[in-house]
Amino acid sequence: MQYDLIVVGGGPAGMAAARAARDQGERVLLLDDNPGLGGQIWRGREDLRLEGVELGLGHTLTEWRGEAKRLILACGARELLLPFPGWTMPHVVGAGGLQALVKQGLAIQGKRVVVCGSGPLLLAVAANLRKAGAEVPRVAEQAPWEKLLTFGLGLWRWPSKIFEAVGYATSGYRAGLWPVEAWEGGVTLSDGSKINCDYVACGFGLVANGELARLLGCRMNGGLVAVDDWQRTSVEGVYAVGEMTGIGGVEKAEAEGRAAGARQRVTGNWGAFASALAKTFALREELRALATAETIVCRCEDVRWGRIATMGGKRQARLEARCGMGACQARICGPALEWMCGWGPENVRPPLFPLSVREFLRDRDEAGHPPTGHSL
C-alpha cells in the first residue's frame, strides 16, 4: 500500500500530524503499538477519533520498509527510572506507569501511594490518583524549591500552564526530597522518613523514545531528535514531533504535529518551555549514587551495580555482564546508565522490539523481507 504519509505514534503529536495532513488531502496511515489512540496522556479516552486516516493500532513497528513519501515520528517519551535499593520490588511502579495502569483497570481506591522522583508529571499523577480514590501522603520532588519558584514565576509566558499548575496544586508536596530505599510495604525518603504504602510511584522525568529515529539515522541532540523549524530531521522525508524533540507536554506536541502534518513552520514558544522544564527539573548529583553494589540496575538480566561499576563502558558491560542485553533492549537501564556513568546512548539495531522466531519466519513476504508490524 502506498501512502503519502505514515505517522508512527498515536498520541497528541501523531494525531495532530495525521489530521493536518489528511486535511490537505493526503493519504495517511497512523501506527501505534498501543491498542487505542491517545498515547499516554490521553490513554483510555473513548472520544478520540481520526476520521479519514487509516489506523494500525496494536502493532509494534520493528523495521522500516519505506512505502510512503513522508514519515512523521511521534514516538513520545518514557519515564526515566533510576535504580535505588528495592526499586525492583513489585510495589515500585513508574509514576506515569501507575497512572497508565489505573487507566487499564488497576484498583487504586483506598490504596496508599507515595509519588516521588521529578517533574511536573508527579503533580498530575498525584492529582489523578487522589481523584481515583487513592491516598497520597507524600509527593517528593527531587528539585529544590528555589528552582521550582523560578520556574513558577516564568510561567506567565505560557498562560495555559499556570491553570494546569494551579489545578494540580497538591498537599503533601515537598521539594528537595527523593526516595532512597523501597521495602516490603513502604519506602524511605532522603530526609529519613519512612512511609508505609501500597505503591511507590516513582519516575525521574521523561526520556524520548528515540530508538526509531536513531535506527533511521536521524541526527540526535543530547537524547532528543534534532529538527528544524518545520520539524524536519536530518534524514530526507523524515520528521519528528512531540516529546521526541524536547520534553514539553501536550500543547508543544500538538503544535509540532500540526506543523509537520501541514508542512508549515511551527508556531509558539514551546521549545523555550521545554528548555525551562529541563533546567528546572535537572537531576541532582546525589541521584547518581542511590544504587548500592547489591542493587540490580539491568532488570532484564539482573545485573547488579557492583558488577557494572567495574566495567570500562557500555560495550564491556554488555559483552561481559549482559547488562542491557535483555528483552527491553536497554530501554530502562540504558538511560539510567547514561545518567549514572556518562555512557553514550545505546546502539539501535532492528528489530526494534523482540520478535519470536515463529513470528519472524511466519510473515516473510515473497522477497524474503522480514515483517514490518507485530504486536508482541
- Residues found near another protein in the complex (CB under 8 A): 33-35, 40, 44, 58, 60, 78-79, 81, 88-94, 96-102, 104-107, 209, 296, 299-302, 326-328, 331-332, 354, 375-376
Asked if residues 230 and 250 have their Cβ atoms less than 8 Å apart, the reply is no
Residue 263's alpha-carbon distances to 22, 49, 239, in angstroms, are 12, 22, 10
For the chain, how far is it from start to end, CA to CA, in angstroms? 23
Q: Say how far apart CA 168 and CA 160 lie, in whole Å.
A: 13
Q: Say how far apart CA 129 and CA 109 lie, in whole Å.
A: 9
Find the shortest distance in angstroms from Cβ 107 to another protein: 5
Q: 21 or 317: whose CB is closer to another protein?
A: 317
Find the shortest distance in angstroms from Cβ 239 to another protein: 22
The DSSP element (H or E) to which 118 belongs, if any, is strand 112-118
Classify 296 as helix, strand or coil.
Answer: strand
Q: 12: exposed, middle or buried (C-beta count within 10 Å: 0-12, 13-18, 19+)?
A: buried
Q: 221 or 375: whose CB is closer to another protein?
A: 375
Q: Say how far apart CA 122 and CA 110 lie, in whole Å.
A: 19
Find the shortest distance in angstroms from Cβ 42 to another protein: 13
Q: 111 or 258: whose CB is closer to another protein?
A: 111
Helix axes 121-131, 159-168, angle to 10 degrees: 50
Q: 183 or 230: whose CB is closer to another protein?
A: 183
Asked if residues 130 and 216 have their Cβ atoms less than 8 Å apart, the reply is no
Q: 40 or 280: whose CB is closer to another protein?
A: 40
Find the shortest distance in angstroms from Cβ 368 to another protein: 25
Phi, psi of 322 (to 5 degrees): 65, 20
Find the shortest distance in angstroms from Cβ 58 to another protein: 8
Asked if residues 370 and 360 have their Cβ atoms less than 8 Å apart, the reply is yes
Find the shortest distance in angstroms from Cβ 57 to another protein: 11
Find the shortest distance in angstroms from Cβ 279 to another protein: 26
Asked if residues 208 and 77 have their Cβ atoms less than 8 Å apart, the reply is yes
Q: Which of 2, 62, 5, 7 is nearest to 240 (CA)?
A: 7
Q: 179 or 261: whose CB is closer to another protein?
A: 179
Neighbouring C-beta atoms of residue 118, cutoff 10 Å? 26
Q: 10 or 261: whose CB is closer to another protein?
A: 10
Q: 26 or 79: whose CB is closer to another protein?
A: 79
Find the shortest distance in angstroms from Cβ 310 to another protein: 19
